[in-house]
Amino acid sequence: MKRVVVTGLGAVTPIGNNVQEFWNSLINGVSGAAPITRFDTTQFKTKFACEVKNFDASPIFEKNEIRKYDLFTQYALYATDEAVKNANIDFDSLNKNRIGVIWGCGDGGISTFEEQIGEYKLGNGTPRFSPFFIPKRIVNIASGVISIKYGLRGINYTTAAACSASNTAIIDAFNYIRWGKADMMITGGSEASVTESSIGGFNASKALSTLNNDYSKASRPFDSTRDGFVLGEGAGVVILESYEHAIKRNAVILAEIVGGGLAADAYHLTGTHPEGEGAVLGMELALEEAGISPDQIDYINAHATSTPTGDLSELKAVEKVFGINPNANISATKSMTGHLLGGAGAIEAIACIKAVQENIIPPTINTQEAEPEFADKFNLTLGKAQSREVNYAMSNTFGFGGHVASSIFKKFTE
């Protein structure tokens, strides 16, 4: 098996439109929640979200190009541009047949779908659809467009594993490289789901917070009064390549990925297993693959969306795998970014990689009274960032349908 290293990062998030802005906001505990600007929320139970702010796609798109892409694809291309530059990649000097793209996304072009169906209805059933309607809305288009932009002919597909989609994509990319089937992969995920149907649908299932009068504190993972997640959007990109390939092109290595565990709850359509059975399996598989024991993990970026049942089941799973008072700090960065659905694992992988690089644990903000059963068992990094040596960091993601993905990043050493 080949070693797989991280050589580039890119991000578009509700708290920063590049990696450095994103990381600075994380360690300073900045909330990305604000009133929704995309549509009139008068009739909606939830009137806020973590939208991307001041996004300008023009630096990487021609004017006539932007109309071809839904916002989730624009986010993907923008973040990829940053990651490619960060990794200092000259694709023309590399074998493009062995460089691929594996992307994660849950909803795809949902705003495009809403817009086009709305126009169809207004036209009294006259089928006047845009020629870009289908390619703008299909969930796999971002991976295709990234490969087209850079001429990459290697492995290319999109994982649709709900909220674990981009973590699953990262693990798949890791596997293809370590198996020797690719030299480099662009991986991560994106989502642009702050739309009427998303807010309305999640409201109907009682998944979203309705703390409209204090929205900046609505995402409060592990808090005994939490009432649902805050919807977010954006993209995260991780450039992975084999150690040999990175050394050969004199790349700066940011971290190493050493384990990935994929599993299922096999329990419920939308809810996690109450005892965290799938989460336990995913974490154990990742640890086994990394060849380390639980006490070697220094940081766990929890899935922790701020839902009443989900957070509790994850804490139960962590206790089963790591025991009481484990070595690891735990934090929930969704308290700041909201929940990016299929894009969540990508930006949370970046948070883990930066924690390994900088030896800083980003905080869990807004949580005032942690779940009584677990308040004294874990270091939930409440309120402010904590400095400590971080050699191994784990990222957990779970999705509707019971999907589980856990990945482990390691401080790079020769």
- The full DSSP string for 245-291 is HHHHTTPPP-EEEEEEEEEE--S-SSSPPTT-HHHHHHHHHHHHHHT
Mean pLDDT of the 83-94 span: 98
Q: b/e map of 254-288 (b: 16 or more CB within 10 Å)?
A: bbbbbbbbbbbbeeeeeebbeebbbbbbbbbbbbe
Residue 396, SS3 per DSSP: strand
Residue 271 has what pLDDT?
86
339 is catalytic: yes
163, 245, 352, 403: the active-site residue: 163
Mean pLDDT of the 378-382 span: 97
245, 273, 339, 403: the active-site residue: 339
Instruction: Write out pLDDT tens, residues 23-77.
Output: 999 999 999 999 999 999 999 999 999 999 999 999 999 888 899 999 999 999 9
Is the pLDDT at 153 greater than 80? The verdict is yes
403 is catalytic: no
Residue 338 has what pLDDT?
98
What span, in angstroms and rounded, lies between the C-alpha atoms of 121 and 38? 20
Is the pLDDT at 124 greater than 80? The verdict is no
Residue 45 has what pLDDT?
98
Instruction: Write out pLDDT tens, residues 222-247.
Output: 999 999 999 999 999 999 999 999 99
What span, in angstroms and rounded, lies between the C-alpha atoms of 135 and 309? 36
* Phi-psi domain of 206 (left: phi exceeds 0; alpha: psi -120 through 50; beta: other): left
CA angle 258, 260, 266 (to 5 degrees): 165
Residue 128 has what pLDDT?
86
* Contacts for 71 with CB less than 8 Å, ≥ 6 apart: 109, 111, 192, 233
Q: Is 388 exposed, middle or buried (0-12, 13-18, 19+ CB in 10 A)?
A: middle
163 is catalytic: yes
Instruction: Write out pLDDT tens, residues 261-294.
Output: 999 999 998 889 989 999 999 999 999 999 999 9
Q: Cα Rg for the chain, rounded, in angstroms?
A: 20
50, 105, 245, 303: the active-site residue: 303
Is the pLDDT at 366 greater than 80? The verdict is yes
Lowest mean pLDDT among 7-16, 115-124, 203-212, 318-327: 115-124
Instruction: Write out pLDDT tens, residues 343-364.
Output: 999 999 999 999 999 999 999 9
Question: What's the whole-number average pLDDT of the chain?
Answer: 96
- Determine how many CB atoms are found less than 10 A away from the CB of residue 292: 17
- Comparing C-alpha atoms, which of 257, 251, 287, 265 is closest to residue 349? 257
Task: Provide DSSP, 186-237.
Answer: EEEEEE---SHHHHHHHHHTT-B---GGGGGG---TTBTT---B-BB-EEEE
What span, in angstroms and rounded, lies between the C-alpha atoms of 314 and 363? 17
DSSP E strands, 23-92: 34-35, 48-49
Higher-confidence position of 127 and 104: 104
Residue 106 has what pLDDT?
96
Q: What is the largest CA-CA distance in the chain?
A: 65
